[in-house]
């Protein structure tokens, strides 16, 4: 597998300008001859579909939800970073770039991160022009707050619903293009395979989730913006529908999958309440601006939090990381929580939790000020737990939240399959081994609004428009394979439900490839997952038919892919013999702090599919750090 990152030459500040200039353009009259298929309608997909349609391309956009507005970007709470320096607190593009590279534990591509920091500024302008109602101060200007891993206030927010407001902005832009006839929208439609013709991605095969019809769509380029794979753990903060299918099927058609082991465990989620739990709910990182994290200094302390005097509390983040305190980055805060729980100091019935306490802020600022900042989050917490966070501390615990790994892309966001572009969480590019808070929204929108509209032209300019039609034999072949798989699920008629298998997979993943990983556990996981997969194909029970709305069937397809993908994730975790960011190998640590091995692992691991039953091939893209020097990441 050839991995050419196609990073432009020149100083890092000028690379993006250089690329924009050297990229070929498609003449406006020709643009309408090209059709681009955009899969996914979250921040990256919706912004890409809208922007490409505005330029004049024919666009078809697909999402499995009933409306493009429901993609899971909508659930992002805290905010979006931008190097505007409106606070005059020393922020700059360079500082955002630096923070993101460091936050990613030096496992991201420098040039991509720099471009992201540059574009961050435009995103805010664009969103405001669309009518996104960001929080404002009394002078009418935009407000900012701080987020983990940064010492400046550069996070723009819309109460605790920033993702919602940004997505609705992108959805509005997309809707406008749909109304104008420039985008054809296919909701309740799931992509089930990529069609590669002569080495180029020229279409997709989808299933209409209402009628069950398997359909082919041909295009001149395919853009995947299908999000992350956090649901391989079963319990995560992702939406129930989030899945790896699109990127996994692309991988099986030849796209390299990079760094699947980089998964982000978010430190502040509501703890699990029982076996019935179907998903985990995040409590925004922004809460750590005013909330203090603590556990008792004593093991097994069953006292009520209010009865534990200050002297017997361990504000462990403030103790361990005095300069960042409660705003330590996510991977570090999560690991610290795990550590105190492992020591037997966790709180609640399960001992798997820590307190996030607003007592001091409420005393300092008043209840109203806290309600104005976090009202909806407190409300949500109270709904779920039936506890009042104004009068007693929140109980929180880490949970799977985001996946930094994804399909490998070059600087132009093109995967190893020419014509197949990958945006947002679905790609691997910008966050390295750990994503800083408020950077996911930034990346999704940067990719969709400002990167793909330029870079796709460079590819399309070399392609003959409409060269492949849906009647090409390759479409028939792929559609046949998809239909056969669908039929196979329905024919097994075993004893266990799809959810049952998914939960079993989640238990393996979380137990052996979760917050801490080791050689032994990963080895076990690599034996257990294939066994589970085999059982799935023997004993799964999927009722109903294929030509109707069948939610069990939808789930079956997604879980089948997770059962394959989970193995790759564990394999990647096993092979990366170092600790970095969200990937913590117990063998490589300094007293609980991750120990990187830059000598041997300063690279992206890119997995190449070798065929059914064959071990995938591990390729590497070496990472070079010319502007931010490799250093031990310290937040002390």
Partner 1 sequence: MKVTLHIWRQSKKSTKADFAQDGKMVAYELEHVSADMSFLEMLDVLNEQLTKKGEDPVAFDHDCREGVCGSCGVVIDGVPHGPERGTTTCQLHMRSFRDGASIYVEPWRAAAFPVLKDLVVDRSAFDRVVQSGAFVSVNTGAPQDANAIPVPKADADRAFDAATCIGCGACVAACKNASAMLFVGAKVSHFLHLPQGRVEREQRARRLVAAMDAEGFGNCTNQYECEAVCPKEIPVRVIAEMNREFVRSKLVEEPPSTKRVGGDG
Q: Interface residues for partner 1 in 484-513 (CB under 8 A)?
A: 495, 497, 499-500
Question: CB neighbours (10 Å) of residue 360?
Answer: 12
CB of 490 to partner 1, least distance (A): 12
Assess 176 for contact with partner 1 (CB under 8 A).
yes
User: What dihedral do alpha carbons 625, 626, 632, 634 form, nearest 10°?
Assistant: -110
Between residue 120 and residue 149, which ones bind partner 1 under the rule CB under 8 A?
A: 122, 124-131, 133-142
- Size of residue set near partner 1 by CB under 8 A: 82
Between 187 and 226, how does the x/- string for binding to partner 1 read (CB under 8 A)?
x----------------------x----------------
330, 335, 435, 633: the active-site residue: 330
The interface with partner 1 within residues 561-600 (CB under 8 A) comprises: none
By C-beta, is 135 or 461 nearer to partner 1?
Answer: 135
How far apart are CB 71 and partner 1 at their closest, in Å? 8
Kind of pairing between the strands at 58-62 and 183-186? parallel
**Helix, strand, coil share (%) of the chain residues, nearest 5:** 40, 15, 40
Selected from 7, 20, 32, 172, the binder of partner 1 by CB under 8 A is 172
Nearer to partner 1 (CB atom), residue 269 or residue 580 = 269
Q: What is d(CA 426, CA 116) in angstroms, rounded to the nearest whole number?
A: 16
Which one of residues 544, 600, 610, 634 is an interface residue with partner 1 (CB under 8 A)?
544
The whole-angstrom separation of Cα 512 and Cα 524 is 8
Alpha-carbon distance of 625 to 113, in angstroms, equals 12
Beta carbon of residue 240, minimum distance to partner 1 (angstroms, whole number) = 6
> Which CB atom, from 251 or from 501, has the smaller least distance to partner 1?
501
* Subset of 273-292 contacting partner 1 (CB under 8 A): 273-274, 276-279, 281-282
Three-state secondary-structure class, residue 286: helix
Least separation in angstroms between CB 542 and partner 1: 8
* Widest CA span in the chain: 74
Nearer to partner 1 (CB atom), residue 136 or residue 302: 136
Q: Which two tokens stand for residue 175?
A: 């809707």
Residue 310 contacts residue 317 (beta carbons within 8 Å): no
Looking at the Cβ atoms of 524 and 539, the one nearer to partner 1 is 539
By C-beta, is 89 or 137 nearer to partner 1?
137
Q: Note if 330 is an active site residue.
A: yes
| 13 sits near partner 1 (criterion: CB under 8 A) | no
Euclidean distance between CA atoms 227 and 425, whole angstroms:
5
Residue labelled with tokens 């753990």: 233
Stretch that binds partner 1, among 175-183, 284-292, 465-473, 605-613 (CB under 8 A): 175-183
- Tokens representing 159 are 């109460």
Look up tokens 């320096």; give the residue: 85
629 binds partner 1 (CB under 8 A): no
Q: Tell me which H or E stretch contains 18.
A: helix 15-22
**Closest distance to partner 1 from the beta carbon of 96 (Å):** 16
Q: How far apart, in whole angstroms, are the C-alpha atoms of residue 57 and residue 35?
A: 6
Q: Is residue 551 a contact residue for partner 1 (CB under 8 A)?
A: yes
Name which position in 1, 23, 32, 75 contacts partner 1 (CB under 8 A).
75
The count of other CB atoms within 10 Å of the CB of residue 444 is 33
Which residue's CB is nearer to partner 1, number 74 or number 522? Answer: 74
By CB under 8 A, the residues from 351 to 390 that bind partner 1 are 379-380, 383-384, 386
* Choice between 171 and 233, CB closer to partner 1: 171
Could you give the string, one character per residue 86-125, with x where binding to partner 1 holds by CB under 8 A and - elsewhere?
x-----------------------------------x-xx
The secondary structure element, H or E, covering residue 112 is helix 110-130
Q: Which residues contact 476 (CB under 8 A, 6 or more apart)?
A: 216
> According to the 3-state scheme, what is the secondary structure of 373-400?
HHHHHHHHHHHHHCCCCCCCCEEEEEEE
CB of 398 to partner 1, least distance (A): 17
* Binders in 431-460 for partner 1, by CB under 8 A: 449-450, 453
Contact 250, 407 (CB under 8 A): yes
Q: How far is the CB of 495 from partner 1 (least distance, A)?
A: 8
Q: Give the x/- contact pattern for partner 1 in 27-66, rule: CB under 8 A.
A: --------------------x--xx--x----------xx
Q: Which residues contact 255 (CB under 8 A, 6 or more apart)?
A: 194, 247, 407, 408, 415, 416, 417, 420, 422
Site for partner 1 in 240-259 (CB under 8 A): 240-241
H helix intervals, 494-625:
498-513, 519-539, 551-575, 598-601
Q: Of the two residues 8 and 187, which places its CB atom closer to partner 1 in the complex? A: 187
The nearer residue to partner 1, 500 or 593, going by C-beta atoms, is 500
Residue 159, CA distances (Å) to 377, 432, 443 in order? 9, 28, 20
Question: Could you tell me the smallest distance in angstroms from the CB atom of residue 115 to partner 1?
Answer: 16
How far is the C-alpha of 136 from the C-alpha of 156, rounded, in Å? 9
Task: Report if residue 168 touches partner 1, rule: CB under 8 A.
Answer: yes
Signed CA dihedral, 443, 437, 277, 532: sign only:
positive
Rounded to a whole number of angstroms, the minimum distance from the CB of residue 598 to partner 1 is 38
Q: Which stretch binds partner 1 (CB under 8 A): 158-166, 311-319, 395-403, 420-428?
A: 158-166
- How far is the first Cα of the chain from the last one, in angstroms, to the nearest whole number? 41
Closest CA to 174 of 60, 95, 81: 60
Smallest separation (angstroms) from partner 1 to the CB of 105: 28
Residues that are catalytic: 330
């Amino acid at each position: 597998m050839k991995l050419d990152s196609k990073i432009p030459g020149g100083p890092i500040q000028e690379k993006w300008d250089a690329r924009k200039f050297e990229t070929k353009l498609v003449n406006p009259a020709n643009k309408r001859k090209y059709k681009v298929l955009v899969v996914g309608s979250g921040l990256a997909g919706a912004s890409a579909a809208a922007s490409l349609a505005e330029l004049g391309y024919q666009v078809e956009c697909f999402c499995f939800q009933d409306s493009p507005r429901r993609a899971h970007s909508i659930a992002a709470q805290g905010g979006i970073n931008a190097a505007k320096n409106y606070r005059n607190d020393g922020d700059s593009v360079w500082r955002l770039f630096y923070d993101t590279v460091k936050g990613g534990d030096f496992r991201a591509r420098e040039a991509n991160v720099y471009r992201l920091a540059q574009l961050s500024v435009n995103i805010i302008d664009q969103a405001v022009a669309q009518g996104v109602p960001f929080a404002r101060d009394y002078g009418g200007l935009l407000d900012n707050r701080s987020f983990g891993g940064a010492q400046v206030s550069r996070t723009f927010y819309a109460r605790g619903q920033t993702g919602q407001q940004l997505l609705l902005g992108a959805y509005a832009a997309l809707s406008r293009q749909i109304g104008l006839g420039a985008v054809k929208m296919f909701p309740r439609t799931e992509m089930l395979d990529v069609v590669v013709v002569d080495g180029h991605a020229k279409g997709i095969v989808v299933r209409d989730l209402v009628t069950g019809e398997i359909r082919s769509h041909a295009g001149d380029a395919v853009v995947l913006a299908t999000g992350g794979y956090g649901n391989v753990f079963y319990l995560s903060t992702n939406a129930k529908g989030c899945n790896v299918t699109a990127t996994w099927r692309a991988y099986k058609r030849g796209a390299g999958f990079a760094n699947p082991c980089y998964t982000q465990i978010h430190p502040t989620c509501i703890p699990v309440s029982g076996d019935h739990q179907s998903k985990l709910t995040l409590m925004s990182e922004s809460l750590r601006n005013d909330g203090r994290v603590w556990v008792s200094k004593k093991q097994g302390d069953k006292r009520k939090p209010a009865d534990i005097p200050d002297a017997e509390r361990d504000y462990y983040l403030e103790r361990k990381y005095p300069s960042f305190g409660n705003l330590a980055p996510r991977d570090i805060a999560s690991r610290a929580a795990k550590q105190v729980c492992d020591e037997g100091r966790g709180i609640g019935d399960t001992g798997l939790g820590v307190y996030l306490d607003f007592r001091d802020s409420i005393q300092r600022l008043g209840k109203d000020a806290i309600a104005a900042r976090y009202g909806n989050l407190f409300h949500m917490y109270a709904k779920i737990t039936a506890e009042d966070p104004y009068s007693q501390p929140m109980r929180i615990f880490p949970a799977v939240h985001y996946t930094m790994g994804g399909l490998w892309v070059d600087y132009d966001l093109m995967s190893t399959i020419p014509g197949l572009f990958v945006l947002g969480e679905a790609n691997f590019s910008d966050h390295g081994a750990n994503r800083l808070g408020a950077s996911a929204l930034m990346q999704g929108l940067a990719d969709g609004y400002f990167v793909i509209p330029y870079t796709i032209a460079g590819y399309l300019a070399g392609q003959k428009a409409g060269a492949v039609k849906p009647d090409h034999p390759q479409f028939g072949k792929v559609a046949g394979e998809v239909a056969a798989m669908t039929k196979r699920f329905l024919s097994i008629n075993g004893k266990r439900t799809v959810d049952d298998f998914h939960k079993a997979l989640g238990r393996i993943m979380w137990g052996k490839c979760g917050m801490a990983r080791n050689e032994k556990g990963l080895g076990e996981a690599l034996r257990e997952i294939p066994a589970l997969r085999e059982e799935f194909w023997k004993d799964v029970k999927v009722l109903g038919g294929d030509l109707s709305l069948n939610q069990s069937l939808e789930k079956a397809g997604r879980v089948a892919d997770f059962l394959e993908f989970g193995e790759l994730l564990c394999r990647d975790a096993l092979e990366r013999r170092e600790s970095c960011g969200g990937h913590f190998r117990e063998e490589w640590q300094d007293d609980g702090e991750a120990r990187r091995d830059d000598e041997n692992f300063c690279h992206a691991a890119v997995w190449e599919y070798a065929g059914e039953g064959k071990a995938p091939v591990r390729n590497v893209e070496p990472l070079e750090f010319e502007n931010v020097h490799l250093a031990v990441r310290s937040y002390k």
